Structure 1
Amino acid sequence: MVSSTSARSSEQGPVTPFTTHTLLPNGSSSKSNSSLPDMSQSSFVKAFFTLLILGGYLGMGLILLTIAFSSKVRRHPLFVNFLLCLMIYTTSFCFLLFAGHQFDGEGKPLFLCVIQVSFIYGSQVMAILAGLAMVFNVWLKVRILAQAVENTQVVEENVYNEVFGNELYEKTYQRHAFWTTIALLALPYLVFLFVAMIFILEGQRHPLIFDIASNEVYCKLQKSTQTSVPTISGMLIFIGIGLIVLVGKDLLTYRKRMIWPKPKSHLSKQVRFSLVVRLGLLMMCCLFSFLAAVIASLRSGGKFTPIVQALFPLLTFFIFGSQKDLLDAWGLTSLYYWIKAHAGKPPSQVVMMNLRHEESRSYIATSSTASTEAGYSPPLIRVSSPIRPPEQALVR
């Protein structure tokens, strides 16, 4: 998986424990180098970690906490696993930052650089595999519906709701796909450990193949070092894009041929392409990140690739964090309609409207209590609310 030129291997001489080395740009290894320019304080490095932490920790953490504590937001375990993989992906780039050596002006410890490179390559494959597992699982379920329609079989409503009910959520553990889900959950982590161990062992044998990136953000491999990780990542991304196309095809087949006994409005609410679109956007983000890595391997340095890598978790947050149930749980739907109802009005008028609304509700509650105590029920009075209730929201 990793190979280097024979010239560089012969230059390094006898192998010594790399925990005592300090890695400098261009692959040099020494105790210190006071002439090294301190690029780590630049605004580019700060922007890189800001984008990375916003998406990888704050964004992913917000979705995970919402899933954990909100009874109305439910997701498939593979989706939760994908978010966890993205947090590990973020940690791999922040490894030197958390270790306290990101802003060292005299080079980085070689041991930490080896660990970071191992985690970066391993987590990239892991994140792509976790996203591919989601796509593959959805394709399996949609394929069941498409085959049922082709064979003129009756589709069970619980299977139908598994695929399309509440976006990515389905009760896989209660069905025959239990072991398939377990395998899809474990596979990304096994591959991550396998790739990371290969790079760690390679770092012990050939420590000079590691280098600090020219932008001083993270450690990397030397240009002369060949690795098959980008090739494997590219193959997985194209497989995911192909599965997305198959999911869309099977979904169209199902919607055209299925004679659903319920009203068409119910069908249009349940069978939506939003899930396919979100997964397709995810695969396109993976492809864009892969192309950026390829460009970086063909050209010298540059800031384009690190920014794309930092944007990947943030774009994922926008793709999946814009789902309606999450927006409702965060109160953004109610806030949207409140702003829409009071747009263009002076603050004093908004305050008066809210006061009149509260007085009306209090009057109705008091009148209802007094009427009940008197022994009769007055006719219901409908009071129009300036705020549109969140259950009528059409935000997707």
Structure 2
Amino acid sequence: MSSALNGTAANVPVNIVHGTEGELVLFLVLNMWPSHFGLPILLAIILLSKKVHRHPTFVNLCVGFIIIGVSSSVLLYAGKTSGPEPSKMLCLFQASMLYGVPAFSSMLALMLVLQMFLVVRASVQKQVSQGPQTVRLWAMLATPYLALLISIVATAFVGASNPDSVSRNRRYFYCSVHSDSLTATITLVAAVFLFATIVFEVWTLVILYKNWMVVEQPGAKPRVAVELSLPIRVLAFGLYVIMAMSLSLLSVRAPESPVPDLVIACAATVVILIFATQPDILRALCFWRKEPTLRFDQSVASTRGMPRDIKGQP
């Protein structure tokens, strides 16, 4: 088995994804620019700036997408994006990492949205903070990596048991393991996580909608219940989650299309566009500008806990 893993398969699986060289370059760019440049800068701002605070689940999301981007670039590092098939050991390594991505990224998104839901619900119900929930926090941070580890081990076992099923040629953009049962299981688990994410997204939007009103008081100016930026970002992130689920299912039903792989590769860019455009991040980036009077930021990823009163003046 060891010699088979280090050699080149005699029977290379047929190519099922009809990609082009330009699409391969686009796939690599979409994975590399955020993981090697955009997300590290965003993380540096969050970790080093005294005026930017984010919940650890958001930091975890950024770190996770850096890992995903690096895993997607393994063949480029080895100079094996085209030409002869890479070694079975290298190919199985990348396939194991990338087969863990659906459950890993879905769980990362779920934990972030769950944290947002808990903050919004507690704020609306005017619950008093009970201090840091250490066990819950560590569970939210660790479960995505547990899902990744289980997926890696399962994929490595299946690929090592049948080395001829491991190839780059089959999926074109990256190495894969040809196993219908493995693919179906990974897709199903990711779909469950994504469905749970959508449930919490919708639940959060319902809460925000019910509290999105102009409060009229005698002798006082009308005040808006919730800032506009929060529901917009929630909706944008939710729409991408729904699209990712649909494309994941499409990739199983119509694997010859390169579109699902390319759109899913945009995930890290979507995270940057949605969350790196928040006012405090932009102020930190434009450090040379005179800082305006700060308002309370009701960002979903803030580590400052619950807003003082989500129905009141922000």
Q: TM-score, normalised by structure 2?
A: 0.80
Superposed CA deviations along residues 337-376 of structure 1, whole A, max 9, x for unmatched, are xxxxxxxxxxxxxxxxxxxxxxxxxxxxxxxxxxxxxxxx
Name the residue aligned to 1:77.
56
SS of the aligned residue for 1:106 comes to coil
Judged with a 3 Å threshold, the aligned counterparts in structure 2 of structure 1 residues 318 and 23 are, in CA distance, closer, same or farther, namely farther
User: Which runs of no fewer than 5 residues in structure 2 stay unpaired?
Assistant: 300-314
> In structure 2, which of residues 250, 254, 274 is the aligned counterpart of residue 299 of structure 1?
254
Name the residue aligned to 1:3.
none
Is contact 2:170-2:176 (8 Å) kept? no
Matches within 5 A, 1:12-31: 15=1, 17-23=3-9, 26-27=12-13
> In structure 2, which of residues 117, 121, 129 is the aligned counterpart of residue 139 of structure 1?
117
Distance in 2 (alpha carbons) for counterparts of 1:264 and 1:221: 63
Distance in 2 (alpha carbons) for counterparts of 1:238 and 1:304: 21
Name the residue aligned to 2:108.
130
Supply the AA of the counterpart residue of 1:20: N
Which of 302-311 and 65-74 deviates more? 302-311
1:87 aligns with 2:66: yes
Matches within 5 A, 1:157-236: 159=129, 175-214=131-170, 216-222=172-178, 224=180, 226-227=182-183, 228-236=185-193
Distance in 1 (alpha carbons) for counterparts of 2:143 and 2:11: 35
1:244 aligns with 2:201: yes
Judged with a 3 Å threshold, the aligned counterparts in structure 2 of structure 1 residues 50 and 308 are, in CA distance, closer, same or farther, namely same
Judged with a 3 Å threshold, the aligned counterparts in structure 2 of structure 1 residues 19 and 305 are, in CA distance, closer, same or farther, namely same
Name the residue aligned to 1:45.
24
Task: Number of aligned residue pairs: give it.
Answer: 291
Pairwise CA distance, 1:233: 1.1
Judged with a 3 Å threshold, the aligned counterparts in structure 2 of structure 1 residues 56 and 289 are, in CA distance, closer, same or farther, namely farther
1:107 aligns with 2:8: no
User: Which runs of no fewer than 5 residues in structure 1 stay unpaired?
Assistant: 1-14, 29-35, 149-154, 160-173, 335-388
Does 1 or 2 have the higher relative contact order (CA < 8 Å, sep 6+)? 2
Distance in 2 (alpha carbons) for counterparts of 1:135 and 1:147: 18
Structure of greater Rg: 1
Is contact 2:95-2:155 (8 Å) kept? yes
Name the residue aligned to 1:328.
283
Distance in 1 (alpha carbons) for counterparts of 2:288 and 2:200: 32
SS of the aligned residue for 2:176 comes to strand
Distance in 2 (alpha carbons) for counterparts of 1:251 and 1:333: 35
Alpha-carbon RMSD across the aligned residues, in angstroms, is 3.4
Is contact 1:209-1:225 (8 Å) kept? no
Judged with a 3 Å threshold, the aligned counterparts in structure 2 of structure 1 residues 324 and 145 are, in CA distance, closer, same or farther, namely closer
Q: TM-score, normalised by structure 1?
A: 0.64
Supply the AA of the counterpart residue of 1:196: I
SS of the aligned residue for 1:27 comes to coil
Distance in 2 (alpha carbons) for counterparts of 1:195 and 1:202: 11
Distance in 2 (alpha carbons) for counterparts of 1:25 and 1:232: 30
SS of the aligned residue for 1:191 comes to helix
Distance in 1 (alpha carbons) for counterparts of 2:247 and 2:9: 25
Percent of pairs identical after alignment? 22
Distance in 1 (alpha carbons) for counterparts of 2:207 and 2:241: 23
SS of the aligned residue for 2:292 comes to helix
Distance in 2 (alpha carbons) for counterparts of 1:73 and 1:137: 18
Name the residue aligned to 2:240.
285
